[in-house]
Amino acid sequence: MSAFKRSLSLNTTIALVIGGIIGSGIFMKPALMASQLGSPILLVSVWVVAGIITLFGALSNAEVAAMFPETGGQYVFFKKMYGDAFAFLYGWAAFAVFNTAGNASIAYVFSQYTNYFVELPRFSNAIETTVSVHIPLVGNIYPLENFGVKLLTILLILILTFVNYLSVAYGGALQRVLTAMKSVAIVLLIGGILFSGKGTLHNMFHSMPSMPHGWALVTAYMAAIAGAFWAYDGWNNITFVAGEIKDPQKNIPKSLFISLSFCIIIYVLVNLAYIYVLPIEKMAVSPFVASDASTVTWGLAGGGIIAFLVMLSTLGTTNSNVLATARVTYAMSEENRWFAWAGKPQKKYNTPGNALILNAAWSTILIFSGSFDMLTDMLIFVSWFFYGMSTLGVFLLRKRMKDTPRVYKVWGYPIVPCLFVCFVVFFLCSTLYTDISNYRNGTAPIINSLLGIFITSAGIPIYFFSKKRN
């Protein structure tokens, strides 16, 4: 685990976290969330609640990351908490579900927005639906759907994989530049809309007549929370490269707190900007809500500006994820012969080259298999199960390793990590219930959470058949 130099500074780690978080979610999810909630106030509250919950989980994980600042992140943590078998299950899920699917889904949005400037080719609807793969108890997937977008997505993954294959420094430098450009652009977007004088504060207090109530509102709120979680996901990238961070005991918790606080403020302001110029009814039916909001402000040129902003944003996020997530695949190789090849660093460039290649190959398969929403819903369900387990492990380590020095201790212990774990349990149960209900009602072609469980569970027999023997 010590094959790589500690070359990442505090500024670079902050750029990695912000770059890993602010991507496609804030541009793709608000419209769907608006249709689910029907209330601007509830919409803004979702972003605040999801941000605070994410911060609780991140700060809890930061305590463990500061104790074990090694390349591999939560894979290393789970070995300390629950043993090798559970750590491998996490590593397998990271590789097979949420890390590679995260890379694929974010790059997917880059390709979708390319359509604004150049129409990408695709097959007819008849051909797209002719080729399908049925998964029992889960549903159907369509590999040929939106084929041009998928091909461009794969190309983007391969290019960024090549950049990070050549050098950690190249990948880190590219990330700093992209994050700085993205942050400036988003701030200009917020200011341009809020100070344009072309909206009204009345939109903030006007709800849709179809706004849900009672238990339906709880279900809708949790569904919207899932969308916000996707937008906040990526903060754990910093734990994957902990073995390459300078002064990790101080820089890991500091960068997480600064970055997540910044993202919460930005997400709330962006949503307020949308609401300022778009009534909730228009937000709910907008395919590209950010483009529509900018069109109201700047005219037709606004659509091109926001399309370029989204492409810039998702490019930075994809690079951050490609750089960081390969470290988990690399870490898995130490005790598993099937992943031994992935654990060999590229000698000339001193990077986890084989792990980067393996992640890119599996991301390509996932890109052909699904759509943006399928990939995001599946990975959020699985990743938040492991977020909950890693936070639960803080309690175990406090008892099992109470004499181990802790440079950083999670603020508000035990209330903060306890609240996070309880929420994760409620979120997972409600999401599974909603997914199954939507599939039975015919409103969803696939049960995304069950697909995530199915792929993750495949790691159990793989572990026992492939475990290295001393």
What are the tens digits of pLDDT across the range 288-309? 788 788 888 888 787 787 778 7
Q: For position 263, what pLDDT does the model report?
A: 92
Res 4 pLDDT > 60: no
What are the tens digits of pLDDT across the range 193-217? 898 888 898 999 989 988 988 888 9
Which range (4-8, 30-34, 85-89, 451-455) has the least confidence?
Answer: 4-8
Residue 5 lies in a domain: no
pLDDT band of residue 86 (cuts 50, 70, 90) is very high
Side-chain-facing half-sphere of 206: CA atoms under 13 Å: 13
- The count of domains in the chain is 1
Res 109 pLDDT > 90: no
Please give the residue range of the domain that contains residue 43. 10-466
Q: For position 168, what pLDDT does the model report?
A: 64
Average confidence score pLDDT of the chain: 83
Residue 1 lies in a domain: no
Q: For position 1, what pLDDT does the model report?
A: 44
Residue 69 lies in a domain: yes
CATH classification at residue 273: 1.20.1740.10
Q: How many CB atoms lie within 10 A of CB 178?
A: 21
Which range (240-249, 317-326, 364-373) has the least confidence?
Answer: 240-249
Residue 4 lies in a domain: no
pLDDT band of residue 2 (cuts 50, 70, 90) is very low
Q: What is the pTM of this model?
A: 0.80
Residues 6+ apart with CB under 8 A from 205: 40, 41
Res 172 pLDDT > 70: no
Mean pLDDT for 58-82 is 82
Q: For position 227, what pLDDT does the model report?
A: 86
More confident residue, 311 or 428: 428
pLDDT band of residue 175 (cuts 50, 70, 90) is low
Residue 3 lies in a domain: no
Residue 163 lies in a domain: yes
**Distance separating alpha carbons of residues 409 and 214, to the nearest angstrom:** 39
Closest CA to 272 of 193, 211, 182: 193
Q: pLDDT exceeding 70 applies to what percent of the chain?
A: 91
Residue 194 lies in a domain: yes
Res 5 pLDDT > 70: no
Which range (27-41, 63-77, 195-209) has the least confidence?
Answer: 63-77
More confident residue, 380 or 370: 380
What are the tens digits of pLDDT across the range 323-363? 777 877 777 776 677 777 777 777 777 777 888 899 999 99
More confident residue, 348 or 64: 64
What are the tens digits of pLDDT across the range 414-436? 899 999 999 999 999 988 988 88
CB 157 within 8 Å of CB 356: no
